[in-house]
Amino acid sequence: MAFSYNFIIFLIVSLSSISFMLTSVKGDLIDDVCSKALKKKICLSTLRANPRSKGANLEGLATISIDLSQKNAKSVRDLVNTLLKQAKDPKLKSRYVSCLENYNDAINNLGELPGYLKSKDYGSLNIHASAASDDPSTCDDNFSGPPAEPPQLKAASDNLQGIIGIILVISNLLKG
């Protein structure tokens, strides 16, 4: 009888340990993803701030990141539109028109992502997320010379690229 009692205690302790390890691994998923991101701080703050992230798996985190990137891209496009309307300098106007095209392209690419995620086409998810990430970067490149890129546009662009970077990391992890 003592043997079976000790075995049961061992089994309970073992299962408790395994359960604890699985819980702690799941709790570290955001850290694992963000450790691979180019913009780690944006990744961590974005995912930690979203209540849907708690307990989410990789596909759940991808869905959250896609939703946020789509909203952010539209917000940045609205900012560019506002800057364009306020611009007096023809050079700036031209840059903003180019940026509007870039952000429209980003929005189109991001619009494709939910379908690729749902169909588990992680390669296409990665390709279109990468293309969407290039669009804000291309806008930023328009400001390599004077006049300078407005700080609010640069910050919004960096944030969007950081969020899209989360999708890139997750798509690579899902591709295995």
Q: What are the residue ranges of helices labelled H in 28-89?
A: 29-35, 40-49, 58-86
Note the pTM of the prediction, 2 decimals.
0.83
Q: What is the pLDDT of residues 54-92, one digit of tens each?
A: 999 999 999 999 999 999 999 999 999 999 999 999 999
pLDDT digits (tens, 9 = 90+) for 13-39: 444 444 444 433 344 899 999 999 999
